A and B are shown apart, each in its own frame.
Chain A
């Protein structure tokens, strides 16, 4: 079962542009929503995370927007850079057992 749906599967953005990745979840018991960045040959690394009692969280160029009623959350990467080119995964968890989305492959063109 796919409890966390992520879109788009791939994304191409020009340097300096905004990258937006969206996720939707089904299980209302989830209580922690992290985003991970993964480079080829590496394990996922935590970028930013949010709890459902907060509607937005910003850390540097990365912002999570969270809509509890719609059961949706999104990642915005401002001023996207070529070094941001990677695969991004949203996730949702209960008891810190993570359910991941299918991933978005981001390419930032110079």
Chain B
């Protein structure tokens, strides 16, 4: 196990609703990244937080937002859910720029 835990593991939401996904980083890791993995595809980078500040963002609309807390845990919020938002959402944490990223097991989000 990587020490990165995500909750919930599965979630079903209705189109138009809002969702919050949570990630607890591995102890001592100050950087967290979020990825979206559609079925049968590679993960796509959403954004990254370093010491509570967003320091990188992929090609995702503003309705995808995030937070990192002083204890380095993190949230991913998605507003106005669309059917195409159905995917596995992965959180990865690391300590510093030149270190390995450890992934959690992901949250499977289904939008109906």
Residue positions of A touching B, CB distance < 8 A: 1, 4, 6, 34, 36, 41-46, 49, 89, 91, 95-103
Contacts and interface: CB of A to CB of B under 8 A. Distances in A.
Given A43-B106, A96-B31, A103 B101 contact: no
Contacts, number: 60
Given A44-B90, A97-B33, 7 more contacts: A1-B59, A4-B42, A43-B2, A43-B104, A46-B102, A89-B43, A98-B33
Contacts of A43: 2, 4, 90, 92, 103-106
Interface of B: 2, 4, 31, 33, 35, 40-45, 48, 55-56, 58-59, 90, 92, 94, 97-98, 100-106
A49 B31 CA distance: 19
A41 B108 CA distance: 9
Given A96-B94, A97-B48, A97-B56, A44 B41 contact: no
24 contacts: A6-B42, A41-B105, A43-B2, A43-B4, A43-B90, A44-B43, A44-B90, A44-B103, A45-B2, A46-B101, A46-B102, A89-B42, A95-B97, A96-B31, A96-B48, A96-B97, A96-B98, A97-B33, A97-B56, A98-B33, A98-B35, A99-B45, A102-B42, A103-B42
